[in-house]
Amino acid sequence: MRAGLSGRALRAVRLFAVLLFAGAISAADAGIPPITVDGKVPTLAPLLQRVTPAVVNIAVLAGGGESQNPLLQDPFFRRYFDVPERRQPQTSAGSGVIIDAQKGYVITNHHVVRNAREILVTLKDRRQFPAKLVGSDAGTDIALLQIEPNNLVALKFGDSDALSVGDYALAIGNPFGIGQTVTSGIVSALGRTGLNIEGYEDFIQTDASINPGNSGGALVNLRGELIGINTAIIGPSGGNVGIGFAVPSAMVQKVTAQLARFGEVRRGRFGATAQDVTPELARALDVSANEGAMLVDVVADAPAAKAGLKRGDVIVAMNGRPIRGSADLRNQLGLVPVGDVVELRFLRDGKAQTAKVTIEPPRTGLAAGRQSVPELVGAKVGNLERGGRSEAVVVVDVERGSAAWHHGLRAGDIIVGVNRRKVRSIEELGVQLRANPRPVGINILRGDFEITLVLRG
């Protein structure tokens, strides 16, 4: 205790001082100060009054469905002929963020609307709208919905690239389906990867409480700008322990631009693989950089090779944005549409150089056949043959809105394994899918990179 203050009182005084300081800083910024002092009580209420109408609740009806044969709806008939019980439709809840009031665009997580038959969006003012799924990307866990643009409020994107550890953050969503909730914290870490949550990982980590149902909700800064989409937590039994993750707004913007245009993210081919540059590797190879992505293999006649890149080159920036490692390079390349040109800054023999690379469509080789696999309803696949023998399975076509499409499969994907067990043909793929209980992971090559799609139910 100090000067007669209890520990609780001392913490309150410190919090009051921090909030006053933050409010003073924000007052210098354009727009309404996020923290105000009314009657000597600091509050975030003015900020939240502007922001929370843009955060919505999302209810999803998934699975189940009525049988086409009316006889199968009769319980006596079903028992007499030992027909299995029908799977009942399941409902789930999540959150979303309105990003375009004029077009009615709403962002949420891919896993929130996966396998959705019906999607219902509820606004803070309790108005409800059926939503159409515009597009979804399993690799980044982002989905784009559209509702009737009737007197909506949208959130403005903030610059997640400008974030620093220690910046204040607010998480807004619908935890446990109890209703809109706001929690506060700071940015705990940036660029989190290797968590095996999504295919493309560049997460913002925050200690603002994120719980089940917050998925798809907003992470905002003290200017009321959207800096991330809450997507996952680490904690026992799925509960919050102060470690939550959000997809950064820079990634969200690039993904939603393609979803709005194509209904999917069309990833292309770079034609090189890389590894992280560490201080130890830099010293061993006499490289004048302590971070970056070193090319360890460059495919002949691929876009990287055509641009003059070689094995041993260290990529340190792409389109002016720093590249800190191989995952960073993979994430950025994975968001570049086919046909776009990227400028790479790299080091070779200690000298900085630049190269312009045109991203090309992925090569799928020769696909033999066009078959359906019962476990991947809506997809047509073929054997990927090289040198007269099948080496993998290529997805030839995916029906939009089908189960396979909702699982994240796209035309051009190359299926190389199931639960990390290699498959070389359609027959092997079917055997592995039937032998492994759900959920099951399908290992695919998309462009230059391998990701895992999880099939559930």
Q: What are the catalytic residues?
A: 111, 141, 215
For β-strands 226-233 and 218-220, DSSP reports them as: antiparallel
Q: Dihedral angle at the C-alpha atoms of 94, 98, 104, 107, nearest 10 degrees?
A: -50
Cα distance between residue 132 and residue 150, in whole Å? 15
Q: What are phi and psi of 252, to 5 degrees?
A: -60, -45
Which pairs with CB-CB distance under 8 Å and at least 24 residues apart come from 77-81? none
Is residue 95 classed exposed, middle or buried when 0-12, 13-18 and 19+ CB atoms within 10 A define those classes? buried
Is residue 84 classed exposed, middle or buried when 0-12, 13-18 and 19+ CB atoms within 10 A define those classes? exposed
- Contact assessment for residue 274 and residue 312, using Cβ atoms and an 8 Å cutoff: no
- Contact assessment for residue 137 and residue 199, using Cβ atoms and an 8 Å cutoff: no
Cα distance between residue 65 and residue 198, in whole Å? 29
Cα distance between residue 10 and residue 12, in whole Å? 5
For 74, the token pair is: 């009769």
For β-strands 440-446 and 321-322, DSSP reports them as: unpaired
Residue with tokens 């691929």: 302
- Contact assessment for residue 433 and residue 410, using Cβ atoms and an 8 Å cutoff: no
- Contact assessment for residue 122 and residue 53, using Cβ atoms and an 8 Å cutoff: no
